[in-house]
Chain A
Amino acid sequence: MIVVNNLTKVYKLSKKQMMEQRTKKNIKRAVNELSLTAKPGEIYGLLGPNGAGKTTALRCIATLLKPTQGDIKVCEFDTVKDSEKVRKKICFLTNEIKLDPQFSPKYMFNFFGKLHGQDDKTIQERREKLFNYFGIKEFEDKKIEELSTGMKQKASIAVSLVHDPDVVIFDEPTNGLDIVTARNVTDYLKLLKKEGKTVIISTHIMSEAEKLCDKIGIIINGNKVIDGSLEDILSSTHTEDLEDAFFELYKLHNKEEA
C-alpha cells in the first residue's frame, strides 16, 4: 500500500542550471501537491511526458529523496522517519540505478540478497525461480558489462526482486527493451499483481498504460491532472482512447505554464 499525501518536491537550481534551463527562478517545482493511493493487488501507472516529475515522485516514494512538503506512507511506514523499514518492503528499478558491471548477475543477486539479510537457502530458491522466469540461467556467470541491454535489464529486475518485496516501484521498466522482453516484463508485473503486491510504474507509452494499469495518474508539469481507471479517464475527457485523452488534458493544462 502506498499513500502519497500532498507531495511537493522543490529543487534548488545552481547558477549553471538556471542558465541551462533559461530561467531566472532559482527553484524548480518538480512535483506539486501530488496525492495518490496505490493498493495491493493493483498496478498504478504514472503517465506523463519527459520531465513531468514522474521519476522524482517515484524517488520520493523509494526514500531516495525527501519531500519538501507532504508525506508518503509505504506499508504504514513514513519514508523519511522509517526509511530503512520502507526500504525493506520495496524494490526500486530505474535506469539510473545500475548493477556493478564487473560482476555476474549471480554474484549481484547473492550480494543484494545478503544486504537484505536473507539466508543462503532463501537466496538460492529465489534465484532459481527468478532466473528461470527471466531466462537468465544461461548467462548468470557472465560479467554484466558483457551482456546486452535487454539481458542487463532482465538481470536488474531479477536482482531488485531478490527479497520478494511487497511494494514494487518500476521507473519506465520497458524502456529500451524489444517487444519480446518488454512483454516478458509486463507479464511478470501482472503476476506480481496476482500475488497481491502493490505495483507502481511510470511510463510514457500509452498502450502499455492502457493494457497494464488498473489505475492511471497523469502528471503534467509536476501536477497530477487526473487519476482513475482507464474508463473513468475516457469518460471524463469524452475521448475514445488514452492518447486522445492525454492530449486533451495536455492542451488544457500546459497552457497555464506557457
Chain B
Amino acid sequence: MSAVKNILVKELTRVFTDKKLVFSLFVMPGLLIMIMYSLMGRLATNMVNDIEKNIPKVYIQNAPEGFDELVSSMGYEAEITPLVLSHNIEDIKADIKSGDVELLVVFEEGFLDKIGAYQNLGDEIPEVKTYYNTAEDYSVAAREKFLNMVLNTYQQQLLAERLGNIEQLQVFYIDKDPQSSIIVDEEKASAKPLSMLLPLLINIMLFSGAMGLGVDAITGEKERGTLSSMLISPIKRSDIVMGKLLSLGILSSLSAVIYTIFTMIGIQRLYGGFEGDADTAMGALGNISFTPIEMIQLLVLLLIVVYLYVSLISLVAVYARTAKEANTYVMPLMIVVMLGSIMTMFSGGTEKGIEYFAIPIYNSAVSLQNLFLGELTMTQFGLTVGTTAFLAAIITVLITKAFNSEKVMFNA
C-alpha cells in the first residue's frame, strides 16, 4: 500500500509544482468557459434588443378605409408605405427576399365590400395576405407584431360591427386567469432546465479533466522513459496502476469542481443578459435541495464516474505509443461520453425502464438527471453504481495486464 501512496504523492507533486501545468489545466479552461458563456449572454441580449429597436419597413397594398388610423392608434411602429391596388408587388417581394423590406400586406380587391355583403354560408370571404422572410429575424418579428397588434384587433372590430354582440361567438371561456390554473412543484419546475443541462456539463467536465492528465501521466511517461524506471522497482505493477489511477482521479475531480464553479458563474452572466432571469437561474440552483441521502448518492455517483473515465482514458493511454496517438484514440471516447449525456437531454418525460440503468456512461447521466429532479430510486442508483464500478474494475485489470506486457511497455 505504501508504494501506492508514494506514487500518488509523486504524481500530485509533479502537477502542483509545475505552475504552467496548473494554469493550463485548471485556470485557463475555467476562465475560457466563463468568458464563453458571458459572451454568449451578452450577444443574445444585444440581438434581442436590436430586434426590438428596429423600425421595420412595411408596405400595405389596397388598405381599406380607416385602416391607417387603426394602425397608428394601436401604436404599431413601422415605416409604412401605402400602395394602390394596381402597383406591381414583384419588386417589393424581391426586396423582402434580400432583407431590405420587412413586410408586405395585401388586402384583396373589394375587401370591405365583400365583408359587408356576407350573408350566408358559402358567400365569399376576403383574404389579407402577408409576405415576409423567415430567414430574417427583423421580418419575422415585424409580421408577428403586425398580426397580434393590428390584424387581430381589426378582425375583432369588424366582427363586432357585423354581429353587434361579439359575445355570441364565445360559447365558453378557457382559463380566464391562466396563472391560477398552473399547479406545479416549484422546486421540480425550476430544476427541470438545469437537470437537462447539468449531467451533460458534469460528464464533459469530468472527462476533459481526465483526458489531458491521463494521456500525459501514462503515454507521456512511457514516451519519456520515466515509467520504466518505476517498472524496475520491486513493487507490484498493480500498485503502479492504482497509484496512477488514484492521482488521476483526484486531479480530474478537482478540475471538474473548478470547471463547474466557473460554468455556474458563466451561466449566471448568460442569464444576466435577460433582466430578472439571473435570479431565476440562480434561484433554480438554490431550489435544488438535497436530502443527506441524495448528497451521498451524488458524491458516490461522481466518484464512480470519475473512476470509470480515468480508467477508460488510462487504458487507451497505456496502449498508445505516443501522446499524439493517444489523443487521437481518446476523441471517439469523448464523443461517446457526450452522446450518452446528450441523449438524456432529449429523452422527454417518459419513465426509463430499469434496463437503461445497466448501460454504462448513459446510466450515470440519467441517474444524475433523476437525482436533480429528486426522482432517483435506490434500485436505479444501485444498478448504475454497480455496472459502472464493474466495468471500471474490468478496465483496471486490463490496464494492469498491459503494464505487465513487454509488448505494450517496451514495444518489444
Q: Which residues of A come within 8 Å of B, CB atoms?
A: 11, 56, 59, 62-66, 84-85, 87-88, 90-92, 96-103, 107, 111-112, 114-117
Is B3 among interface residues, defined by CB-CB distance under 8 A?
yes
List 7 A–B pairs whose Cβ atoms lie within 8 Å, in order of A's numbering: A98-B225, A101-B226, A102-B17, A103-B14, A111-B6, A111-B10, A115-B230
Is B155 among interface residues, defined by CB-CB distance under 8 A?
no
Output the least CB separation between A89 and chain B (Å).
Answer: 8
Contact of B406 among A65, A97, A111 (CB under 8 A): A65
**A88 and B234 alpha carbons, distance in the complex (Å):** 5
In the complex, what residues of A have CB within 8 A of residue B231's CB? Answer: 64
Is there an interface contact between A11 and B412, defined as CB atoms closer than 8 Å?
yes
In the complex, what residues of B have CB within 8 A of residue A59's CB? Answer: 410, 412
Q: Which residues of B come within 8 Å of A, CB atoms?
A: 2-3, 6-7, 10, 13-14, 17-18, 221, 224-226, 228-236, 406, 409-410, 412
In the complex, what residues of B have CB within 8 A of residue A62's CB? Answer: 232
**A225 and B309 alpha carbons, distance in the complex (Å):** 52
In the complex, what residues of B have CB within 8 A of residue A103's CB? Answer: 10, 13-14
Is there an interface contact between A115 and B235, defined as CB atoms closer than 8 Å?
yes
In the complex, what residues of A have CB within 8 A of residue B225's CB? Answer: 96-98
Is there an interface contact between A87 and B10, defined as CB atoms closer than 8 Å?
no
Is there an interface contact between A101 and B406, defined as CB atoms closer than 8 Å?
no
Is there an interface contact between A97 and B224, defined as CB atoms closer than 8 Å?
no
**A84 and B10 alpha carbons, distance in the complex (Å):** 21
Output the least CB separation between A159 and chain B (Å).
Answer: 8
In the complex, what residues of A have CB within 8 A of residue B7's CB? Answer: 115
**A116 and B233 alpha carbons, distance in the complex (Å):** 7
**A18 and B235 alpha carbons, distance in the complex (Å):** 35
Given contacts A102-B14, A111-B6, A115-B3, contact A97 B228 (CB under 8 A): yes
Is there an interface contact between B406 and A112, defined as CB atoms closer than 8 Å?
no
Output the least CB separation between B233 and chain A (Å).
Answer: 4
In the complex, what residues of B have CB within 8 A of residue A98's CB? Answer: 224-226, 229
Given contacts A100-B14, A111-B6, contact A64 B229 (CB under 8 A): no
In the complex, what residues of B have CB within 8 A of residue A84's CB? Answer: 234-236
**A233 and B229 alpha carbons, distance in the complex (Å):** 35
**A62 and B232 alpha carbons, distance in the complex (Å):** 7
In the complex, what residues of B have CB within 8 A of residue A107's CB? Answer: 13
Is there an interface contact between A64 and B410, defined as CB atoms closer than 8 Å?
yes
**A227 and B389 alpha carbons, distance in the complex (Å):** 55
